[in-house]
Structure 1
Amino acid sequence: MDVDDVSFGVDKDTAVALLGPNGAGKTTLFKIISGDVVSDQGDVLINGTSVVHHPRSARMSLGVCPQFTATVREHLLVYGRLKGLRRGKELDRNVNELMRATSLDMYAGRLANKLSGGNQRKLSLAIALIGNPPCLLIDEFSTGIDAEMKRDVEDAA
C-alpha cells in the first residue's frame, strides 16, 4: 500500500482520528509511524525529534501488540519495565491506576489469553498507556470494546 503526501500534527492532549475506507492506507501509516514499516521518503517526528531512522524499540514503544501469555498484571509490569519504569512503588502505582481506569483490576491475576476479546483490547490499551507515552496510536479503536469503554476513552481524549 502506498501512502503519499500525508502530513499532520497532533497537539498534546488531543485526539485525532484517521478515517477512510478499507485499503486507504490508515494501517500502513500507523505501521510507518510505529516503525513496523520503513518509508522510502519523508519523516516522522515525535516531540519534535525525528525517529524515522531509529529502531522500532526507540520509538517510545508505539504499536506494541502482545501475545497475552501471562496474567494481566504481569503484562503491565513487564511492559512498564520495558518503558523504563523502575520496579517498586512507581511501577505498581502506574499499573494499579491503569487496571482501574480500564476496568481490568478484577482480572489482575487472570491469564490474559483467557480474557474476552473486549478485555484483551482494554489490556492492549493499558499496555500502550503505561509510562504515559507522549503519543498514542490506536488502530481500529472501536474493535472489540463495549460502548461504555468507548465513551470513557473518548471522554478522556
Structure 2
Amino acid sequence: MTALIEIEGLTKRFGGFTAVDGVSFTVARGEVVGFLGPNGAGKSTTMRMLAGFMLPSAGTARICGEDVVERPVAAKRHLGFLPEGAPTYPEMAVEDFLRFCARIRGVGRAEVARAMALTQLEGVRLQPIETLSKGFKRRVGLAQSLLHDPPVLVLDEPTDGLDPNQKHEVRALIREMAPQKAIIISTHILEEVGALCTRAIIIARGRVLADATPAELVADGRSMDEVFRELTMRDAA
C-alpha cells in the first residue's frame, strides 16, 4: 500500500531539551493509527510538525508525497488537522465559522452542510461557539478538519470532552471514513485503540517504543493498559 503519511527521523529540540527524538513511521490509506504516550511524551509536538505548524529540528514529514517544510501549502491541501484545544473564533456562530474556514479552503456551502451533518452540528449552527459545551466545541473543530474531505486526518484527542454517546458517534464516523483515508489519532484513552485503531504507536520521552497492531501488543494475554504501563515504565527506568 502507498503511504499517505511518511515520517523519517523527525526530531524537535527546544534548547537543550529534545521533545521528539528521531521518530519514523508511515501510514497508508485505510489505516487508523493510535498515537499513545504519557503526558509530555512528544505526541502533540510530533503532530504539530506533521501538520506544518511547527518546524522540525531534523528529519522530514510528507503528506501524500508533499514535504511539509518544502511544500507546506501543497501538503496542507491533503490534510485535515484537529489540534489540541480545537482553537476557533469563539464569538462567531458555528455555521459562520465553518463558512469562513470553507472559503479559506476553497470549498462551498454544500461542504459546510456536509461537515455539520457528519458531526451533528445542525442543531447549534446559529449559536456562538463560546456558548457551546466542551464536547460541541470539539465537534466544531472536527467539522473544520473535514470540510475539504482530505485523504489524511491528524486528530489530537478527537473525543476529548464528549459524553459517552458523543464518543460513540465520533468513533463510528471515524470508522466510516477510515477505508478512504490515512488517519492518526492521538489519545490517552486506551479503549479507543481497541475500538478504532488498526495499529498503535507508543511513544515516551520523544522516542517510539512500540509499533504494532492492538492484537499483537496484547498477544500474551495482557491488557493494553498493562502493555502501556510496562513499556513506559521500562523506558523511564
> Is residue 160 of structure 2 the alignment partner of residue 155 of structure 1?
no
Partner residue, 1:80: 102
Greater CA deviation, 147-156 or 98-107?
147-156
Superposition deviation, residue 58 in structure 1: 5.9
- Give the Cα–Cα distance (whole angstroms) in 1 for the partners of residues 116 and 70 of structure 2: 34
> Is residue 34 of structure 2 the alignment partner of residue 17 of structure 1?
yes
- Note if contact 2:138-2:159 (Cα within 8 Å) is conserved in structure 1: no
> Is residue 111 of structure 2 the alignment partner of residue 94 of structure 1?
yes
Superposition deviation, residue 57 in structure 1: 8.9
- Note if contact 2:121-2:140 (Cα within 8 Å) is conserved in structure 1: yes
The one-letter amino acid of 2:99's match is L
Matched pairs, number = 152
**Stretches of structure 2 lacking an aligned partner (at least 5 in a row):** 1-17, 175-237
How has the CA–CA distance of structure 1 residues 141 and 125 changed in structure 2, closer, same or farther, with 3 Å as cutoff?
same
Superposition deviation, residue 36 in structure 1: 2.1
- Note if contact 1:35-1:56 (Cα within 8 Å) is conserved in structure 2: no
- Give the Cα–Cα distance (whole angstroms) in 1 for the partners of residues 74 and 130 of structure 2: 24
- Give the Cα–Cα distance (whole angstroms) in 1 for the partners of residues 141 and 74 of structure 2: 17
User: What whole-Å deviation, never above 9, does each CA across 1:56-93 have from its counterpart, x for those lacking one?
Assistant: 796236356323221111111111111111xxxxx222
Partner residue, 2:136: 119
**Stretches of structure 1 lacking an aligned partner (at least 5 in a row):** 86-90
Superposition deviation, residue 142 in structure 1: 2.5
How has the CA–CA distance of structure 1 residues 52 and 45 changed in structure 2, closer, same or farther, with 3 Å as cutoff?
same
Query: Which of 68, 71, 75 lines up with 2:90 in the alignment?
Result: 68
Partner residue, 1:104: 121
Give RMSD over aligned pairs: 2.0
Larger strand share, 1 or 2: 2
- Give the Cα–Cα distance (whole angstroms) in 1 for the partners of residues 27 and 155 of structure 2: 14
> Is residue 74 of structure 2 the alignment partner of residue 52 of structure 1?
no
Greater CA deviation, 100-109 or 5-14?
5-14
- Note if contact 1:80-1:130 (Cα within 8 Å) is conserved in structure 2: yes
Superposition deviation, residue 154 in structure 1: 2.1
From the CA coordinates, give the structure whose radius of gyration is larger. Answer: 2
- Give the Cα–Cα distance (whole angstroms) in 1 for the partners of residues 120 and 169 of structure 2: 11
Q: TM-score, normalised by structure 2?
A: 0.59
Greater CA deviation, 111-120 or 65-74?
65-74
The percentage of counterpart residues that share the same residue type is 32
Greater CA deviation, 68-77 or 46-55?
46-55
- Give the Cα–Cα distance (whole angstroms) in 2 for the partners of residues 56 and 4 of structure 1: 26
Q: TM-score, normalised by structure 1?
A: 0.86
Superposition deviation, residue 10 in structure 1: 1.7
How has the CA–CA distance of structure 1 residues 47 and 9 changed in structure 2, closer, same or farther, with 3 Å as cutoff?
same
Partner residue, 2:23: 6
Superposition deviation, residue 108 in structure 1: 1.1
- Note if contact 1:118-1:146 (Cα within 8 Å) is conserved in structure 2: yes
- Give the Cα–Cα distance (whole angstroms) in 2 for the partners of residues 94 and 40 of structure 1: 36
